[in-house]
Amino acid sequence: MTSAAATGINVRAPDRKTSVMRLPNLRQLYTFRVLMQTQNVTEAARQLNVTQPAVSKMIASLETELGMPLFRRIRGRIYPSSDAVVLLAEVEQLFAQIDALQDGISSLRSAEAGSIAIAAIPTLAGTLIADCLSDFARSRPGIHIFLVSESSTGMLGLVGLHKVELGFMYDPPPPNQALQADIIGELEIIALLHRDHPIAGAAEITPKLLADQRVILWDRDTPPSQLIREAFARDGVVPHDHYTTNSSSVAKRMAINGIGVALLDPSVMIGENRPELVVRAFRPRIPLRLYCIQSAYRPPSQITRQFLAGFRSRVRNYSRELQTSLG
C-alpha cells in the first residue's frame, strides 16, 4: 500500500472545532417563532417587548449560525423561506417539549407527580405504610408507587443500593456510614388473645400472669423479642414459648385460633374488627421504635419528603389512639 508521504500529498486530520455546528440558543429560536407567527417585525417586537432593530439583529444572528436565509423583505414586508417553514415545525416541537418539561417540574415541586420507592418489614408494609400511601396517592393520581415487603436485612440492602428511597423497620440498624437512620415514632408491644382464653378478663397482661400460659413470640434474634424475654427474666418467669415466628401476622392467626397469648406489634391489628379477639396492654411497657432508613449520600425527592412528613403524622396519631385504647 502506498503511503501518503510517498505520494507527496499532505494529509490533515479534520479540524474538530470547525466540524461541530454551533446550535442556536432558545432566545433566537423564540424570536424566530414569534416572527413566523406574526409575519411582522413591528408586532413581533411589541410581543417580545424589544425594539425592531433588536428583532432584526436576532434573526440575522440566527441566519448566520444556520448558514441559510430565513426571510426575504419585499416592499416593507417579510416573507419566510421554505427552509423557515420547515424549521418552524421543529421549533414548535422543541417548545412543546419545553412546556412539558416546565409542567413536569411544577408537578415535582408540588409533589403531584414522580415516584416513591419504599421497602419495609412485612407488618408495616401491609398496614401503616400501605394505608398512608393509599391516602397520599388518592390526591396525587399522577404518582407511581413501588412498595416492597422485605426483611430488615433485605430492606437495608435495597436502601444502600438506591433501589428504594426509604426503608422502615423496628430494629435499630447496625452502624453504616452509607445509611441514615431516624426514629420517626414509637409504638408498644401488645398482648393479643382469644376472648375465651382464661386470662382474657385481665385489664393488662404481665409476665407473672403468663407464668402458666403458652405464649407466641417473635424469634429470639429480634430486639423486641429480646426485650420481652428480659421483662420475663426480671419477674423471675420463664416464658412457655412453645410457638415462635418471625411474622406478626402469623402470631395473630395463632392467637385467633386460641393456642396461646401473642405478644406482638400493634399495627397488625389495624383494620381488624374481630369480636373473638381481645387486645390488652403488656406491662412493663416495651417500646417499639420505628426507624426510617435513608441513603446518606442521596437526598430524598420532594414527593418522598412530603410522604414522609405525612407518615410521621400518621404514626403519631396512631400512637395516641393506641395509648388511649390500652389505658
Q: What is the CATH number of the domain that holds 199?
A: 3.40.190.290
Task: Establish if 16 belongs to a structural domain.
Answer: no
Tracing cell 417500646 back to the chain, one arrives at 287
66 and 97 share one domain:
yes
232 and 266 share one domain:
yes
Question: Could you give the angle at the alpha carbon of 177 between the alpha carbons of 171 and 179, nearest 5°?
Answer: 50
Task: Establish if 1 belongs to a structural domain.
Answer: no
At 280 the pLDDT is 96
**Percentage of the chain with pLDDT > 70?**
90
CB-based contacts of 48, cutoff 8 Å, min separation 6: 30, 31, 34, 54, 55
101 and 123 share one domain:
no
98 and 149 share one domain:
no
140 and 272 share one domain:
no
Pull the grid cell for residue 10.
499532505
Task: Establish if 118 belongs to a structural domain.
Answer: yes
One digit per residue, the tens of pLDDT, for the chain of length 327 reads 444 443 333 434 444 444 456 788 999 999 998 998 889 999 999 989 999 999 999 999 999 989 899 998 888 788 999 999 999 889 888 887 887 677 567 655 655 557 899 999 999 999 999 999 999 999 888 888 999 999 999 999 899 888 899 999 998 888 888 899 999 999 999 999 999 999 999 999 999 999 999 999 988 888 888 999 999 999 999 999 889 998 888 999 999 999 999 999 999 998 888 889 999 999 999 999 999 999 988 888 888 889 999 999 999 999 999 988 887
Task: Establish if 209 belongs to a structural domain.
Answer: yes
Q: How far apart are the first and last CA of the chain?
A: 97
219 and 263 share one domain:
yes
At 111 the pLDDT is 52
Pull the grid cell for residue 207.
409476665
Task: Establish if 9 belongs to a structural domain.
Answer: no
Identify the CATH number of the domain in which residue 75 sits. 1.10.10.10
Q: What is the 3-state secondary structure (H, E, C) of the chain?
A: CCCHHHHCCCCCCCCHHHHCCCCCCHHHHHHHHHHHHHCCHHHHHHHHCCCHHHHHHHHHHHHHHHCCCCEEEECCEEEECHHHHHHHHHHHHHHHHHHHHHHHHHHHHCCCEEEEEEEECHHHHHHHHHHHHHHHHHCCCEEEEEEEECCHHHHHHHHHCCCCCEEEECCCCCCCCCEEEEEEEEEECEEEEECCCCCCCCCEECCCCCCCCEEEEECCCCHHHHHHHHHHHHCCCCCEEEEEECCHHHHHHHHHCCCCEEEECHHHHCCCCCCCEEEEEECCCCEEEEEEEEECCCCCCHHHHHHHHHHHHHHHHHHHHHHHHHC
How many domains does the chain contain in total? 3
At 98 the pLDDT is 81
89 and 120 share one domain:
no
Identify the CATH number of the domain in which residue 310 sits. 3.40.190.10
pTM confidence score: 0.67
Q: Is 28 strand, coil or helix?
A: helix
The residue segments making up the domain with residue 44 are 21-109
